[in-house]
């Protein structure tokens, strides 16, 4: 039996969740369903680099077959990897400390605050724009695997906000009552599965399997467990 080796970056809930050493979340459930359709085995592997964009190196050197990790399709990334058809769409979310900055509910009320950004995330594009138009006071970068430090800094007031894909930041703060996602930036980011540039055969196989999962309702069932419709900008495509 052919086995697909699929990389995900942790922690990136609800896409990628490691529980008691076992990989899970939307990504793994979707890939299990895809592999079930294709008659393949699945071996999830973690990416633990400091910059998210480094995850694509494993496609180029053959370490794994695919990357599924809440990955936004961008022109820069599309130059080095092959993407599937988009399967979800989300905006960026902005989280603040509701106790320290209770009025930070719109872009106009972020003036002077420092944004925390994970290295390699598309949230950096949003933060750089906010800085350029002087809506925020600065940007502090964290290694991708330093998300807990970044959340702790927001809670302690060492930074004033975090910009991250809406469902992820919403999930990350749900057990931190001082923090709140107060707004979405309408980036309409289309997410896709990444492959090596020459792996069109696997890309096409997986795209076809996703279409079958949509047709029989399994995709929607998996999606509903991790992305409740309320407050989400997920789009059925």
Does residue 235 fall inside a structural domain? Answer: no
Residue 90 makes CB contacts below 8 A (sequence gap 6+) with: 165, 166, 167, 189, 191, 232, 233, 234
Domain span at residue 117?
Answer: 90-188
Q: Give the model's confidence band at 228: pLDDT under 50 very low, under 70 low, under 90 confident, else very high.
A: confident
Does residue 233 fall inside a structural domain? Answer: no
Does residue 231 fall inside a structural domain? Answer: no
Q: Are residues 209 and 176 in the same domain?
A: no
Q: Are residues 51 and 64 in the same domain?
A: yes
With beta carbons less than 8 A apart as the criterion, state whether 14 and 25 touch: yes
Does residue 35 fall inside a structural domain? Answer: yes
Residue 108 confidence (pLDDT): 94
Q: Are residues 196 and 83 in the same domain?
A: yes
Does residue 147 fall inside a structural domain? Answer: yes
Q: Inter-axis angle of helices 26-38 and 200-215, to 10 degrees?
A: 100
Residue 20 confidence (pLDDT): 84
CATH code at position 29: 3.40.190.10
Rounded distance, CA 157 to CA 161, Å? 9
Q: Are residues 111 and 43 in the same domain?
A: no
With beta carbons less than 8 A apart as the criterion, state whether 113 and 160 touch: yes
Q: Give the model's confidence band at 229: pLDDT under 50 very low, under 70 low, under 90 confident, else very high.
A: low
pLDDT of 19 over the 90 cut: no
Q: Give the model's confidence band at 62: pLDDT under 50 very low, under 70 low, under 90 confident, else very high.
A: very high
Q: Are residues 66 and 183 in the same domain?
A: no
Q: Are residues 82 and 196 in the same domain?
A: yes
Q: Give the model's confidence band at 231: pLDDT under 50 very low, under 70 low, under 90 confident, else very high.
A: very low
Q: What is the pLDDT of residues 98-120, one digit of tens each?
A: 999 999 999 999 999 999 999 99
pLDDT of 189 over the 90 cut: yes
Does residue 210 fall inside a structural domain? Answer: yes
Residue 230 confidence (pLDDT): 36
Q: Are residues 168 and 205 in the same domain?
A: no
Split into its structural domains, the chain has a count of 2
Q: Are residues 38 and 108 in the same domain?
A: no
Q: Are residues 83 and 7 in the same domain?
A: yes
Does residue 118 fall inside a structural domain? Answer: yes
Does residue 237 fall inside a structural domain? Answer: no
Q: Are residues 122 and 183 in the same domain?
A: yes
pLDDT of 121 over the 90 cut: yes
């Amino acid at each position: 039996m052919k086995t697909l080796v699929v990389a995900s970056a942790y922690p990136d809930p609800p896409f990628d969740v490691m529980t008691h050493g076992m990989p899970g979340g939307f990504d793994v459930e979707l890939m299990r369903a895809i592999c079930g359709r294709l008659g393949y085995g699945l071996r999830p592997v973690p990416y633990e680099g400091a910059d998210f964009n480094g995850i694509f190196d494993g496609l180029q050197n053959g370490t794994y077959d695919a990357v599924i990790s809440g990955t936004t399709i961008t022109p820069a990334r599309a130059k080095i990897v092959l993407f599937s058809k988009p399967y979800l769409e989300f905006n960026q979310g902005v989280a603040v400390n509701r106790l320290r900055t209770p009025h930070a509910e719109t872009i106009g009320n972020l003036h002077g605050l420092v944004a925390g950004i994970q290295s390699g995330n598309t949230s950096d594009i949003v933060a750089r724009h906010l800085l350029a138009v002087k809506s925020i006071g600065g940007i502090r970068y964290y290694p991708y695997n330093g998300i807990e430090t970044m959340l702790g800094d927001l809670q302690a007031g060492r930074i004033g906000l975090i910009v991250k894909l809406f469902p992820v930041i919403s999930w990350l703060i749900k057990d931190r009552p001082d923090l709140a996602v107060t707004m979405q930036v309408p980036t309409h980011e289309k997410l896709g599965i990444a492959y090596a540039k020459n792996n069109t055969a696997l890309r096409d196989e997986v795209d076809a399997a996703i279409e079958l999962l949509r047709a029989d309702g399994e995709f929607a069932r998996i999606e509903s467990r991790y992305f409740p419709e309320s407050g989400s900008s997920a789009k059925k495509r």
